[in-house]
Amino acid sequence: MARVEFMTKERADPKVREIMEKMESNGWPVLNIFKTVLVSPRIGPAFLRFGNAILEKAHLSPYLRELAILRVGYLTQANYEWTQHVPIGLRCGVSQGQIDAISGWSASRLFGEEDRAVLQYTDEVTRNVRVSDATFATLRKFLSEVDVVELTLTVGFYNLVSRMLESMQVELEDPEAHAAHHVPPLKG
């Protein structure tokens, strides 16, 4: 059970209510993560705008974005985030085999050189905050400056998302519907 009471349209201030109604009118469910961050009427909407910009406006390839998000979800053991992004990753071209192998990506042959550069970068940003010069140089062989900045913002944002979800114990909307998508256990 979540550690904070989800925001509802009935309790929301007018600006937050408008955001929730707009989501629904556009056919988007008001997910539990949104109901959690919108408890903060001043910061929650900015959080949503930032997330939407990453998902809808970035130059970075959606395929690479989803590889990075799935790896962050795995490393942080954020089941909600992992579970939500498995179907998004599949729609963006990440194969089921890659999803299954993301826990041990470095030993897998399912990832190309660009994928490996993105995953190594994601690992270092998530685990170490700082990235080695060698990892950065390898990444730059594949990604433009814009893409590197967007990848870094994506990895940082989804680390925030994972930490928010796990700290607040936000549960899936329908855990049984997503039972097959639970994050694999962290190795080592």
Q: Which token pair is 143?
A: 């990604």
Given pLDDT bands bounded at 50, 70 and 90, which one contains residue 42? very high
**Other CB atoms within 10 A of residue 143 CB:** 21
Domain with residues 62-181, CATH architecture: Up-down Bundle (1.20)
Provide the pLDDT for residue 124.
98
Given pLDDT bands bounded at 50, 70 and 90, which one contains residue 183? confident
Q: Which are the contacts of 166, defined by CB distance < 8 A and separation ≥ 6?
A: 76, 77, 78
**Residue with more model confidence, 177 or 94:** 94
Residue 146 reports pLDDT greater than 90:
yes
Long-range contacts of 138-141 (CB under 8 A, 24+ apart): 141/117
- Sequence ranges of the domains in the chain: 14-56, 62-181
Q: What average pLDDT does the chain have?
A: 94
126 with 159: CB under 8 angstroms? yes
**Residue whose pair of structure tokens reads 């995953």 in the numeric block:** 119
Binning the chain into helix, strand and coil, the percentages to the nearest 5 are 65, 0, 35
**Residue with more model confidence, 177 or 70:** 70
**How many angstroms separate the Cα of 156 from the Cα of each of 9, 25, 83, 130?**
29, 30, 19, 12
Give the mean model confidence (pLDDT) for residues 141-167: 98
DSSP annotation of 33 reads H
Give the mean model confidence (pLDDT) for residues 82-109: 96
> Among 76, 98, 86, 103, which Cα is nearest to 159's?
76
